[in-house]
Amino acid sequence: MTRMSGAEIVVKALKDQGVDTVFGYPGGAVLPIYDAIFQQNDIRHILVRHEQAATHAAEGYARSTGKPGIVLVTSGPGATNAVTGLTDALLDSIPLVVLSGQVPTFMIGNDAFQEADTVGITRPCTKHNWLVKDTDNLANTLHQAFHVATSGRPGPVLIDIPKDVQFADGTYVKPEKANKGHYAPQVKGDVDAITQAVELLETAKRPILYTGGGVINSGTAASQLLRELVGETGFPITSTLMGLGAYPASGEAWLGMLGMHGTYEANMAMHDCDAMICIGARFDDRITGRTDAFSPKSKKVHIDIDPSSINKIIRVDVPIVGDIAHVLEDMLRIWKARGRKTRSEEVAKWWKKIDGWREKQCLSYEQKGPIIKPQYALQRLEALTKKYDRYITTEVGQHQMWAAQYLGFEDPHRWMTSGGLGTMGYGFPSSIGVQIAHPESLVINVAGEASWLMNMQELGTAMQFRAPVKQFILNNERLGMVRQWQELLHGERYSSSWSESLPDFVKLAEAFGAKGIQCSDPDGLDDAIMEMIEHDGPVVFDCLVEKHENCFPMIPSGKAHNEMLLGDASTQGAIQAGGAVMV
């Protein structure tokens, strides 16, 4: 067995795990590891300007590659700054391995300089975490961390490494000889339960496939099997925000995204279906609305690798614990062996009903006058960029929902957004992580001016590492989603929802050495977007849009799927179940 310093063990373990990129920020408690990184050339370190940005950049890297994102931060404030990104990754099931420095073991508990109880602080926002007090245990813990982060339902893990452990010598263990512990998630689904699900496919009159990010996390095979299932059965399919791209947006069976800002047809189909096949989604509140009124007449199948998600929010009729790819493979095999049966005539009637809902054209809008509508800006962005090898990240707010509605994703791993936590400031550093992973691709962050300002310092990172990320800011000079809720639900009392004292984004970009573009004219939008695309470095695009545009459709908080607000906010566009009556 090889003896080496703890810092060298860290670097060796990262190499053996196939790591090529680390996002981080140095400090006193991790200088031995930084010194070991300096003395090798296989792992690239990306110096961010804030530790929160390191975690979001690692999330973007992980989401776009399927590999775990790696973060290196110092003790105390370095670790606490990473907490938001850890929580974001936990809610969205993103594999991260975060390495934090800690004060020497003999000083722990003495309120030493830059000491914090990192393990205690991060316990609620990681899948698992460790404090390593013995260098001989370090290699094994590192390999175990990678196993936990990437197995089962993916998620973030953290290893807290005291400085004296980094200096001391220890024994290195290779990944294949490491003790991975007892964590062995179930990947094969119960055959009897899968057969029950198949029987539901065979007898359903009004079926729908409700899919989520678990399909993408399961790997390429899961998305391919999902597409086969849709193609073979002819069933309609919808997706959560996190699942976009698992099934192509151009597919005939695609109903669009569902949920609070989902399409009318997707939400109505979810409400009226008689068989719901939930695949890799978790019935979160932005999808279900009122749980007691959620799809009341349907039998429900729930396929998820995380057993704690089953029956947590919505009671289901057929629970199946397992990896999506394995379960879909077995489901298709059993369904084909039983004769590939569906109630095709009834399903055809169901499609006619869905087509009636589609005729509402719930995403329609009118671009008129001299002011750019945000929907128009994103439709033009989609039209001009879809031919490229393109990745999209977003910040959080109205622009995020419009991006999900108007941008089309044909493949998984092309859409990076903060779903569960809704983290403003996520998109810019995430776009840098995506660009580092895919240096030749077009990476665009769709942003709101308020969200973007939260991590604007990462322009320095983009410039230093020549990451030509494009920041497409829909600037309405408002905290758009906050303002919308205040208009609709709080009597138009706009408490602190104006973006005050905004910078000149063009000058701000130029101050960092990047390119700045501003556009306020709908007629000049296409040329400005092409100028952004064709520039070979980072761009900040300040797109001045209608200040009071609302994002519809919208299911108001506490309402059911069939109580959506459509169209102009002044009419409240509420469409009630059964009658499509404007009230």
Give the single-character DSSP code of 353.
H
Classify the phi-psi angles of 109: left when phi > 0, otherwise alpha if psi is within -120 to 50, otherwise beta.
Answer: left
Q: What is the largest CA-CA distance in the chain?
A: 75
- What end-to-end distance do the CA atoms of the chain give, in Å? 75
User: How far apart are the C-alpha atoms of 213 and 413, rounded to whole Å?
Assistant: 10
Q: Position of tokens 């792992």?
A: 43
Both structure tokens of 231: 């193609």
CA atoms within 13 A on the CB side of 195: 5
Q: Which positions are annotated as active-site residues?
A: 51, 113-114, 163, 481
Q: Which of 435, 449, 450 is nearest to 538 (CA)?
A: 435
User: How far apart are the C-alpha atoms of 91 and 111, rounded to whole Å?
Assistant: 31
User: How far apart are the C-alpha atoms of 18 and 400, rounded to whole Å?
Assistant: 33
Q: Which helix (H) or strand (E) holds 278?
A: strand 275-279
User: How far apart are the C-alpha atoms of 354 and 345, rounded to whole Å?
Assistant: 14
Q: Is residue 489 classed as helix, strand or coil in its secondary structure?
A: helix
Contact 63, 129 (CB under 8 A): no
Both structure tokens of 546: 């209608």
Helix/strand/coil percent split, the chain, to 5: 45, 20, 40
User: How far apart are the C-alpha atoms of 45 and 57, rounded to whole Å?
Assistant: 12
Q: Please give the distance of CA 497 from its chain centroid, rounded to a whole number.
A: 25
Q: Position of tokens 């298709």?
A: 332
What burial class does residue 248 get, using C-beta atoms within 10 Å of its C-beta: 0-12 exposed, 13-18 middle, 19+ buried? middle
User: How far apart are the C-alpha atoms of 75 and 80, rounded to whole Å?
Assistant: 8
Strands (E), 434-538: 442-448, 470-475, 515-519
Please, which residues have CB within 8 angstroms of residue 230's CB and are 6 or more apart in sequence? 209, 237, 247, 251, 253
The reply to whether omega before 370 is within 30° of 0 (cis) is no
Give the single-character DSSP code of 498.
B
Q: Is residue 562 classed as helix, strand or coil in its secondary structure?
A: coil
User: How far apart are the C-alpha atoms of 517 and 501, rounded to whole Å?
Assistant: 19
